[in-house]
């Protein structure tokens, strides 16, 4: 993995007691295929080229070939532009997983930082691709929302009403997901321990009584 100077890329120093567990960038080819949908774009222009060739076939084989070549050239230009965007997005993106939060640095022209503490994450999922890369979408808790316009393409596809930030097209996604899972469990246990330590002793009995469901009788 390429060494990244976190001190220059993060908006502030990592606080004392917080550890960086993993950091990385998206793989641009995977980002091109899965975020910018290059496969669908290529299929569209391929089908369009065949259609144009068939429609111009009556004018002769040369005319049909020219029509197909023009369509394929236009498709190549579009794919080249998408490839440039994917490369810039991958180069300017940084994902950081720490012992307390996830930091996302995104934005090609204007960098934006998102600090997402584990306490604000309701759940995390894993989606692996055949090329060995994958994505980890993060469902935020109630009252937590990041605008899709600010996130894209670093957001879970087809979740528009409730955008989910995602670590997209990262290599070794299974290992990263396990690191994140362990970190979230450890941080949740720490918060629970602190809550139990700070809870007043007089509230213990009433809290236990409230756990019984309606109609139940305690022995």
Q: Tens digit of pLDDT for each residue in 68-78?
A: 899 999 999 99
Tell me: the pLDDT tens digits for 129-140? 998 899 999 999
Report how far residue 156's alpha carbon sits from residue 166's, in angstroms, rounded to the nearest whole number. Answer: 6
Report how far residue 69's alpha carbon sits from residue 83's, in angstroms, rounded to the nearest whole number. Answer: 21
**Are residues 120 and 188 in contact, defined by beta-carbon separation less than 8 angstroms?**
no
Q: How many CB atoms within 10 Å of residue 156? A: 21
Q: Supply the pLDDT for residue 62.
A: 82
Report how far residue 209's alpha carbon sits from residue 204's, in angstroms, rounded to the nearest whole number. Answer: 9
Residue 192 three-state SS: helix
Alpha-carbon separation of residue 83 from 17, 40, 173 (angstroms): 40, 14, 22
Task: Answer whether 0.85 is exceeded by the pTM.
Answer: no
- The HSE-up count of residue 6 (CA atoms within 13 Å, CB side) is 15
Tokens standing for residue 121? 């994450």
Q: Supply the pLDDT for residue 13.
A: 62
Q: Supply the pLDDT for residue 67.
A: 85
Residue 204 pLDDT grade (very low, low, confident, very high; cuts 50, 70, 90) = very low
Report how far residue 156's alpha carbon sits from residue 129's, in angstroms, rounded to the nearest whole number. Answer: 14
């Amino acid at each position: 993995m390429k060494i990244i100077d976190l001190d220059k890329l993060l908006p502030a120093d990592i606080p004392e007691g917080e550890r960086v567990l993993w950091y990385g960038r998206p793989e641009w080819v995977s980002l091109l295929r899965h975020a910018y949908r290059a496969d669908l774009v290529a299929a569209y222009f391929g089908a369009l080229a065949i259609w144009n060739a068939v429609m111009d076939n009556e004018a002769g084989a040369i005319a049909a070939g020219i029509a197909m070549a023009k369509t394929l050239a236009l498709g190549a230009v579009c794919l080249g532009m998408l490839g440039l965007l994917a490369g810039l997005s991958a180069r300017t993106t940084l994902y950081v997983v720490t012992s307390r939060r996830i930091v996302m640095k995104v934005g090609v022209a204007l960098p934006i930082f998102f600090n997402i503490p584990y306490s604000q994450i309701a759940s995390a999922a894993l989606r692996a691709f055949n090329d060995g890369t994958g994505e980890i979408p993060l469902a935020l808790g109630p009252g937590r929302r990041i605008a899709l316009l600010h996130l894209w393409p670093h957001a879970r596809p087809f979740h528009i009403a409730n955008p989910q930030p995602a670590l997209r097209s990262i290599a070794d996604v299974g290992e990263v997901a396990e690191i994140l899972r362990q970190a979230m469990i450890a941080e949740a246990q720490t918060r629970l321990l602190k809550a139990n330590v700070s809870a007043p002793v007089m509230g213990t009995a009433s809290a236990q009584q409230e756990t019984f469901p309606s109609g139940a009788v305690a022995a």
